[in-house]
Structure 1
């Protein structure tokens, strides 16, 4: 793909966590985000990265359509969106700047939107998960992006899970800071004081954090009891806090705040070409009635940490005995019943994150 003339600037400004895009466009509720003109404006600001699916020859079957005979199974049935992000230590947010072997990703999430349109599920894959990367053998899962860009990462995830990916989005946390600040900050519970730039936010319930403070909270790892596993939950908690703040403040019901906020979000997203206006409208319809309690965040099953066969790398060992039936439920769009039947067996985001 050719680089844009102002690639460095676009790299900084056109990346954000896609779950925010999904929920912002979906939770709009107000006419400002439902009109054709506004949707066309939003779609025009989103950066597209091409078709990363074109080179993948063997893929899982799509989930069955909710309405047999519908012309577009993707828009009618379940939808799966693969989210790739970094914490800004690398420039993973602009795929036009990708260079083989030069970058990996810190965040890999699969967003599952069921055909029933009554829930949303966000599942995180630990970045050090030891998996088979097509053409490269066993590697950490985040190496797939380094070796082959979006297409190889998609192929790796699909081979691992047997879940068909419908859309792909590249993200980072620096743009997420701007989204948080556009909301006037988010409220999170702190179990210990948080110091950022000489300012201390005391421990306590529902403390208001700026984007920079929230980023510091999310980036912490060394002092967390479970290391990266707890860090993943902090990422999830930040997303949940943004959705709650957006809902509670009625951000999208105010023409002034909604226009400013949607402008920040739409300019912060890079997606595959297929995530077009029609898909955005569908996303809005899918989640327009969802509340924060309808969102479930969890980490895919893992046995724990270990070492690579050569002993050189610290890795995460996935629990295939639990992962396979979970992903079968995602593929068949029966994830809700599966989670209900297996409550307590997954690493689900708790109400309060340590």
Structure 2
């Protein structure tokens, strides 16, 4: 994201104020110390053996859910930690009938927002951080974090902030505008309606909070395949491995000064998230009581969560995620179709590859592993633009043939003639009729038209016909076929497919 954010639509009128309420538990150690038998004062933490049984709960910060908890720190620590978090009633006002169905029992989905709210940062600090002076609030980063039912795997899906989507009640916008138009609740509603995945919890952190998290850990290590120089973000890094502090890590995560802008930025954000987790696990932050307390106090003050993520929920998650390690955290991002889509208002936005994105979010909603099969074109099938089709209406439904023709053209097939009427008007199923030798073209059409059935006819010579039946629902070229003509993805280096990597893969060694 460039720091001025000038291409983001802003709401007219007052932006709703989001009520965030601190709970009130006092931090451990502020009251009278407990005493052991024999009169010696004990520390507020449990024994060293208990501390070694720490767990890592990935809920967090700026880029994807990383607040580090330990299940071995007793209820007093978790109660204090819960009190440091800001809370917002995110799900109030969301109508059940407008929301996706709940997923399999036990699976959890978090929407993680990195807010670009600059209201709490003074001008001098804004300049030092290179975050600009734009007012208002937008979601600078958005990730969907899925915890599976077995609690042995976490999936983090990066959502491009420039994704062109329908925002409920506001029409088409970039997805990051949902937060500025209606706060966390509208952001949740937009992600749910766009992905079909029900959100169970919400986590948000702002710029200064992210910087504090990195600095509290003593910095992180990042690596670059090529140099990045971004004057606005105060970032200048050559290719190679670098130790960066909080402000540098923020600039590294936010800059779009690379070939593929927002998509490269998601890769860097996921690398930063992996580096944060690796640093916390490899350092003494989690095992040293005083360092751990300082880290939590520093990191959590700018984190906002939904009201249901209370002390009991945090305790339970901490215990359940006890064995999660870097290799158990999988990163991916939404498959895209275009990165240069011109919106009606003259902005450049990102559009998703509808079918592959639906497959990705369908797997998340069903709590299934993400498929990473190669989605390149099937070499045995022709591309849609190589298939010429005749279209006919085999029903009494007015305009069905014309609608089918339009759908085929939009999907990339060549339909040179207008749709005609078939000799019969009582077809229930759509027919794909083909001459011998046109089996591959027919197979592609059969895969693209749900509910259709084949019919070979030697009298057709080299022609292929599609006859619409009453059960026709639409045309969708399968993922393993070539992309439609006129909608070829811009060169995004395979980003129209589902690519995955683990946090262990992302750590610089």
- Would you say same fold, with TM above 0.5? yes
Q: How many Å separate the matches in 2 of 1:18 and 1:106?
A: 9
Q: What corresponds to 1:210 in structure 2? A: 245
Equivalent residues in 2 for 1:225-240 (5 A)?
225-240=259-274
Are 1:219 and 2:251 counterparts?
Answer: no
Larger Rg: 2
Q: Which residue of 2 aligns with 1:279?
A: 313
In structure 2, stretches of 5+ residues that fail to align are 1-16, 23-59, 122-134, 376-493
Number of positions where the alignment pairs a residue of Structure 1 with one of Structure 2: 317
Q: Tell whether 2:163 aligns with 1:129.
A: yes
Please say if 1:86 is aligned against 2:115. yes
Write the distance in 2 (CA, Å) between the matches of 1:172 and 1:19: 12
8 Å contact kept, 1:162–1:327: yes
CA distance in 2, matches of 1:176, 1:59: 31
Cα shift at 1:352: 5.5
Structure 2 CA distance for partners of 1:282 and 1:21, relative to 1, 3 Å: farther
Q: Which has the higher contact order (CA 8 A, sep 6+)?
A: 1
User: Which residue is 1:255 aligned to?
Assistant: 289
Q: After TM superposition, give the deviation of residue 201 of structure 1 in Å.
A: 6.4
Q: Deviations over 1:67-102 (max 9, x none)?
A: xxxxxxxxxx0100101113455779xxxxxxxx94
Shift of 1:165: 0.3
Indicate whether 1:190 and 2:224 are aligned: yes
Which whole-Å CA distance do the structure 2 matches of 1:178 and 1:265 have between them? 6
Aligned to 2:212: 178
Q: Which residue of 1 aligns with 2:35?
A: none
- The aligned residue for residue 275 of structure 2 is 241
Query: How far is the alpha carbon of 1:309 from its aligned partner?
Result: 4.8
Distance of 1:145 and 1:220 partners within structure 2: 21
- CA distance, structure 2, for counterparts of residue 45 and residue 36 of structure 1: 14
Aligned mate of 1:43, from 73, 77, 82: 82
1:17 is matched with 62
Q: Distance in 2 between matches of 1:19 and 1:352?
A: 14
In the alignment, is the contact (CA less than 8 A) between 1:16 and 1:173 conserved in 2?
no
* Aligned counterpart, 1:145: 179
1:202-254 C-alpha deviation (Å, 9 max, x unpaired): 6433x3211122122223212x0111111111111111100001111142111
TM-aligned CA distance change 1:2 to 1:113, over 3 Å: closer
Question: In structure 1, what is the Cα distance between the partners aligned to 2:278 and 2:212?
Answer: 17
Q: TM-score, length-normalised on structure 1?
A: 0.80
Structure-2-length-normalised TM-score:
0.57
Q: Which residue in the other structure is 1:346 paired with?
A: 498
The reply on whether 1:60 has 2:100 as its aligned counterpart is yes
What CA distance in whole angstroms lies between the structure 1 residues aligned with 2:322 and 2:313? 14
Q: Distance in 1 between matches of 2:259 and 2:238?
A: 20
Distance 1:138 1:199, change over 3 A: closer
Structure 1 residues 120, 194: closer, same or farther in 2, change over 3 A? same
User: Cα–Cα, structure 1 residues 18 and 48, in superposed 2: closer, same or farther, change >3 Å?
Assistant: farther
Could you say which residue in structure 2 is the equivalent of 1:72?
A: none
After superposition, what is the alpha-carbon deviation per residue over 1:86-140, rounded to whole angstroms, capped at 9, x for unaligned? 3455779xxxxxxxx9432221111100011111111111111111111122221
Q: How does 1:1-12 map to 2 (within 5 A)?
A: none
